[in-house]
Structure 1
């Protein structure tokens, strides 16, 4: 069994040292670390080179001649990895020392699983824990309050992505069907990988907080550390409605659910149009399913609260929102 890390870097001098140290100090040794740098102009390369000199048989550094962007850079890093298990890594987090051990144990106990993601805690730029909320709280994956088993594909296709790439580990055979990654704005490699594997019913998770996920002003994307209780409750209700565990009754519930379905209709319509028809997942079908769910929810909204529905429809028309041709 061989383990790999696919890490992408770009101007990561502030945090790369702590991240690499945490990867190198695992209870189960990583066999190779593949780092693809996307044109850093700070001291990132110099810092990595020092680690590379101390670990010449473990760390490989590739400097891109042109900036690829995060999606294509991760595609490159993963493609180079030769391990049976490939851990994705950002440049600015810190791994718990038993992360690799816990995830490998899960894979060995569940051999049909193709990818595993985990929870994490949240830290600031001083490595201090900054919230009682977890990484899953920040992406509104309220796993401990949902009925099991959780249909991850349904949640991802009709609510939102809950898989953070920095926690993700994939088996090498997934490389046969996850490439190429999309290359357009606001659709990222972690959601792409996760929804494809979830559609195969081979995505799973470990509830342990196995990374410290850093929240800072320089990150490209990331979670939230200020989460209102009312917001979490709203997302829990949405998840239960989408999963069929509960039925909306109020105007507010139908309104929020219809907006969620419509947003996902637009998102996956965009994914379908930007990736073409030759994908492991039928994104056009996902878009159309969300559109049908939006229409049904909108009809229920109209019956439940006709007056509110009239004014919402009028406001949407004026603003050009949710207008179907």
Structure 2
């Protein structure tokens, strides 16, 4: 049986992206499989981006007969709300997320859409990416390498236990992802406590399946002005752990985790769309962080609690293991 061909739309956000915008816009219409529609929401650029978009949209509508919707915000919404607006302007079966400063491989739509058309149970698919610098030169490592995907992460992914990974960390970068419109029944509106791409991934994994492709289908530009980028440089394991711990005070980190997991718990309860095993796992993750927030500040007592939580496997399952333990030991 031939898989039904699904319509494809691109939700793109811009904000003062004129420096790199041309290369990305060109790559969207040089695909082996063209999109059916493109919605671009501009967050009140003042560097000529809006003029570039209008000239490009007029040409695309004329030459390629692709529907292009342009929106410009009077007041800046920020990245998550801007993407929510762009997504809301599409009515296609599949929605791709596009950043203003990347470049797409010419078979990206074909590959990601093909995955969703082949497996009806997959709600979201994402891939690896080349990392390039501001001049477009290859940095020499992939996105998955920069995210430090561990053998444990890959094994959980192989077993389709993505939700277990997402209770601990995010693997999905929006510019590498595409998802079924159906996912919006659970995902919209985006909560303020989550970034849009990790929220979409968590909702997809809690409801049905996620597919993670090893193919590098995006040239993901790192230029120091990324709203959301990847860790720079090749750091040792210890340095990564210490840097992660020092980035945010422990109390703020734990409160943020509890609030984020609570928002997801509330949404899953409201929609009744999530699988039972995802609901159970989410509660276990919440309880892990709640217990840690209640640890005694006096070190001897806190150390006992840390050892007890380690024996529960809470750190390994929900807090990147040694990094979580180190955070509680240092207790900044």
Coarse TM-score class (shorter-chain normalised): 0.7 to 0.9
Alpha carbons of structure 1 residues 174 and 130: separation in structure 2 relative to 1, 3 Å:
same
Once residues 151 and 292 of structure 2 are traced to their aligned partners in structure 1, the CA distance between those partners, rounded to angstroms, is: 23
CA contact (8 A) 1:268 1:286 kept: no
Whether 1:54 and 2:43 are equivalent positions in the alignment is: no
Q: 1:157 is matched with which residue? A: 167
> How far 1:74 moved relative to its partner?
0.7
Distance 2:215 2:71 in 1: 32
Q: List alignment gaps of at least 5 residues for structure 2.
A: 1-5, 270-278, 296-303, 312-325
Distance 2:124 2:9 in 1: 14
Tell me which residue corresponds to 2:85: 76
Q: Which stretch has the larger CA shift, 198-207 or 27-36? A: 198-207
Q: Are positions 1:109 and 2:108 aligned together?
A: no
Q: State the match for 1:192 in structure 2.
A: 199
Structure 1 Cα separation of the partners of residues 167 and 305 of structure 2: 16
Give the equivalent residue in structure 1 for 2:132. 123
Could you give the per-residue CA deviations for residues 208-260 of structure 1, whole angstroms, max 9, x where no partner exists?
0100100011111101241235469x89xxxxxxxxxxxxxxxx9xxx9xx9x
The match for 2:211 among 194, 204, 208 is 204
Indicate the residue corresponding to 1:266 in structure 2. 255
1:287 counterpart residue number: 286
The DSSP-based 3-state class of the residue aligned with 1:107 is: helix
Structure 1 contact 114–174 (Cα < 8 Å) conserved? yes
Q: Number of aligned pairs?
A: 282
* Post-superposition offset of 1:45: 0.6
Residue 202 (structure 2) pairs with residue 214 (structure 1):
no
Within 5 Å, give how 1:15-34 maps onto structure 2: 15-34=20-39
- Alpha-carbon distance, 1:266 to partner: 3.2
Report the Cα distance in structure 1 between the residues aligned to 2:123 and 2:291, rounded to whole angstroms: 31
Which residue of the other structure, out of 25, 33, 41, is the alignment partner of 1:36? 41
Task: Provide the rounded CA distance (Å) in 2 between the counterparts of 1:38 and 1:145.
Answer: 35
1:105 offset after TM fit, Å? Answer: 1.7
**1:70-127 Cα deviation digits (max 9, x unpaired):** 1111111111111111000110100000111111221122111011111101001111
1:3 aligns with 2:8: yes
Q: Which runs of 5+ in 1 are unaligned?
A: 236-251, 304-310
Q: 1:291 to 1:27 in 2, by over 3 A?
A: same
Cα–Cα, structure 1 residues 101 and 302, in superposed 2: closer, same or farther, change >3 Å?
Answer: closer
Mapping for residues 130-169 of structure 1, pairs under 5 Å: 130-131=139-140, 133-142=141-150, 146-147=154-155, 148-158=158-168, 160-169=169-178
RMSD value, Cα:
3.3
Q: Aligned partners of 2:224, 2:206: CA distance in 1, in Å?
A: 34
Give 1:268 shift: 2.7
TM-score (norm 2): 0.75
CA contact (8 A) 1:265 1:287 kept: no
CA 1:91/1:286 → structure 2, altered by over 3 Å: closer, same or farther? same
2:124–2:210 contact (8 Å) kept in structure 1: yes
1:226 counterpart (233, 237, 242):
233
Give the 3 Å change call, closer, same or farther, for CA 146–272 of structure 1 in structure 2. Answer: closer
Decide whether the 8 Å contact of 1:88 with 1:168 is kept in 2: yes
Shift of 1:201: 3.5
* SS of residue paired to 1:66: coil
In structure 2, the CA distance between the partners of 1:24 and 1:197, relative to structure 1 (3 Å rule), is same
Task: Describe the superposition over 1:155-193 as per-residue Cα deviations: whole angstroms up to 9, x where unpaired.
Answer: 1112x1111011110101112111111225xx3111111
Residue equivalent to 1:243 = none
